Amino acid sequence: MDAEARRQRFRAHVAARLRTLTSELAPPVRALAARPGKQLRSTLLYACATTGLGRGAAPDAPSPTGRREPAADLGQLVRLGALVELVHLASLVHDDIIDRAEQRRAGPAVHVGMGSERAGLAGLSCFALAGKEAADLGGGLPVLVSRAMAGLAYGELLDIERAFDTTLALPDYLELVTRKTGELFQLACVLGAATGDGDQARVDALGRFGLEFGVAFQVLDDCLDFGAPDFGAPDSGKPVGTDHLLGLFGAPTLYALAQDTSGALATLLLAPSFTAADIPAVRDHVRSSGGLAAANALARSRYERALGHLDSVDPQTRAALLDVTAQAWNLG
C-alpha cells in the first residue's frame, strides 16, 4: 500500500470513530461530523506518528515489521486522530454561532437548524466528549487537550475583538492566527509525535512545525477567502468575502489598508451602508494594490519557516509531512 492509500485508510477509520463518538449528539452535529472535511489535523497527527520508525532509513525502506506502519498501534492513533477532529468540530459549531455563518462543509451550519442556544449546548457536548475521550486515553492528554482548547478560545476572542479595526498591526494579526489555528495543529503534531520513541526534542520540533504550519495555513485561507481563482475554495466552505461584512479583515485586506494612504478602502469598509454587493469592489482594490500578493508571500514565508523546523527530523517523517502539507497547499 502506498503512503497516500494508508493515509486514506486512516482517515476512513478516524471518520468512523468520530461518527461513533458523536452518535449521542444532536442530529445536526452528527450530520456535520459525517462530513468530516479534509481531516488535515488528524492526517498531520498520523504523519507525525511515524517519527519513531526508520530513523535514518531511506524513505522507502520497509520497517522491521515489513510494513511502514507507525509505531503506535493503529487503534490508538485512530482514537487520537478522532479526538483532534472532535475538538475541531466543537470549535466549528461554536465558531459558526459567533460569526453567524450559514454554511459549513457544503451543508447548513449547525445553529441554522437548531437555533444558537441549542447549538451552543451541542458544541458544549462536543467539548465534553473530547474531555472524556482525553481522560480515557489518560497520560498527559487532558492537560494537553485542555491547554489547546484554552488557546483556541482565546484566539476566538482576539478574532472577534479586532472587528472594524482597519489598522490591525501584523504582530497582533499573527498572534490571533497562532492561537486560533496554530495551537490545534500543534496539538495534532505533538500527539502524533508523542506516540513515537519518546525523543522529546523531536516532539518539540514537530510541535513547532505544527504551530507554524497552522499559521501559514490560516493566512493562506484568508487569501482563499478572497476567492483567489488559482487556489480554489477556502477550507471553511463559507461563501467568499463574508468576513468583511462582519468587520473582520484578513491578511490581504490588512496589507491593502496599510498601503492605502488615501483612506478610500477604509472608508468603503467602514461605511454603514456596506453590503455584499460591495465585496467585488473591495476584492479589486485589494488585488490591484498588491494586498493579496503580499498576503500570499506571508503565507509562503511562514510555510518555509514551518518546513525549517523539520530539518532535525528523520527523512521519512519529513517526506510524509511534506506530502501532507503540499496537498493542503493545493499544489499536490
Partner 1 sequence: MSGPRRVDVIVTGAGPAGAAAATALAGPTRSVLLVDDGTPARSYDAFLSAPTMEGLRRLAVDLPAQPVDGIDLVFGTRSRRLVPVRAAACDHAALARALRGAAGHAGADRVRATARLLGRDEGWFALALDGVPVLARHLVVATGTSGRPGHWMGTACVQRFAGIDLGTRTTLAVAQPDGTDPRQPPTCVWAVPAPGGGASVGVASVGVAGVGGASVGGAGVGAAGAGDRPVDPDALLALALAELRRIDARFTDLVPAGPVVSGPIDAGFVPERLTVDGLLIGAAAGLTNPFTGEGLSGALQSALLAAESITAHPDDPDAARRAYAQRVRTAFVGYFETARHASRRYHLTWRVLADAASSDQPFAAKARRAILFPEGIAGLGEQRVAIPDAPLVQPFLLACDEVAISVIRREWPFLARLASIEDTGDSQRPRPALLFLGALIADRSTLDVRHATTAAAIELATLGALAFLHPPPPRTGVRDVDWAAAATVLSGDFLLAQASRLIAESAPDASWMFADWLAELAGLRAAALDPDKPSQPELVYAALFEFPARIGAILGGAPARVVHALAEYGYHCGRAFLHAEDVLAVRGERTRLDTTLEAMLAGRFTGLPETLTDRLETADREAVRANLLSGAEAACGEARGRAVASLTAVVNPTAVRLLGQFIDAIAAPCSRDHPARGTADVAGDSATLAGPDPMHLGGQVGLYE
User: Which region, left, alpha or beta, applies to residue 270 given φ > 0 means left and ψ of -120 to 50 means alpha?
Assistant: alpha
Q: Sort 128 into a burial class: Cβ within 10 Å, 0-12 / 13-18 / 19+.
A: exposed
153 exposed, middle or buried (CB, 10 Å; 0-12, 13-18, 19+)?
middle
Give the shortest CB-196-to-partner 1 separation in angstroms: 23
Cell of 164: 472594524
Instruction: Considering only residues 259 through 318, tell me which ones interact with partner 1, judged by CB under 8 A.
Output: 270-272, 274-275
Interface characters, 97-136, with partner 1 (x: CB under 8 A): xxxx--------------xxxx-xxxxxx-xxxxxx-xxx
Q: Is 248 left (phi over 0), alpha (psi -120 to 50) or beta?
A: beta
DSSP 198: -
Spatial contact of 314 and 196, defined as CB atoms under 8 Å apart: no
- The distance of closest approach from Cβ of residue 257 to partner 1 in the complex, given in angstroms and rounded to an integer, is 13
Q: Is 104 helix (H, G, I), strand (E, B) or coil?
A: strand
Neighbours of 271 (CB within 10 A): 10
User: Looking at beta carbons only, is 233 or 264 nearer to partner 1?
Assistant: 264
Report residue 108: phi and psi, to 5°.
-70, 145
Identity of the residue, 7 or 111, whose beta carbon is nearer to partner 1 in the bound complex: 111
Measured from the CB atom, the residue of 125 and 327 that comes closer to partner 1 is 125
| Closer to partner 1 by Cβ: residue 53 or 109 | 109
Least distance from partner 1 to the Cβ atom of residue 31, Å: 16
The grid cell for 209 is 512545525
Q: What is the Cα–Cα distance from 317 to 306, expressed in whole angstroms?
A: 14
**Of residues 25-54, which lie at the interface with partner 1 (CB under 8 A)?**
26
- Report the run of H or E that residue 87 belongs to, with start and end: helix 74-98
Binding part of the chain for partner 1, among 65-73, 78-86, 148-156, 282-290 by CB under 8 A, reads 148-156
Compute the least distance from the CB of residue 32 to partner 1, in Å: 16
Specify the stretch interacting with partner 1 by CB under 8 A; choose among 197-205, 244-252, 277-285, 298-306.
244-252
Q: How far is the CB of 283 from partner 1 (least distance, A)?
A: 18
Q: What amino acid is encoded at 244 in this protein?
A: H
Residue 56: left if φ>0, alpha if ψ -120 to 50, beta else—which one?
left
List Cβ neighbours of 309 (8 Å cut-off, separation of 6 or more): 205, 206, 208, 209, 212
Candidates 154, 199, 307, 322; binder of partner 1 (CB under 8 A) is: 154
Task: Rule CB under 8 A: choose which of 3, 71, 112, 158 binds partner 1.
Answer: 158
Count the residues of the shown chain that bind partner 1, applying the rule CB under 8 A.
55
Q: Considering only residues 13, 37, 156, 234, which one is a binding residue for partner 1 as defined by CB under 8 A? A: 156
Site string for partner 1, 177-216 (x = CB under 8 A): ----------------------------------------
Q: Is the dihedral of CA 57, 4, 297, 48 positive or negative?
A: negative
Give residue 19's identity as a one-letter amino acid code: R
- Comparison of 24 and 304: residue with beta carbon closer to partner 1: 24
Sole window of 4-12, 165-173, 190-198, 226-234 interacting with partner 1 (rule: CB under 8 A): 165-173
- Residue from 1, 150, 170, 326 touching partner 1 (CB under 8 A): that is 150
Q: Which chain residues interact with partner 1 by CB under 8 A?
A: 26, 91, 94, 97-100, 115-118, 120-125, 127-132, 134-136, 142-143, 145-147, 149-150, 152-154, 156-158, 160-166, 172, 245-247, 270-272, 274-275
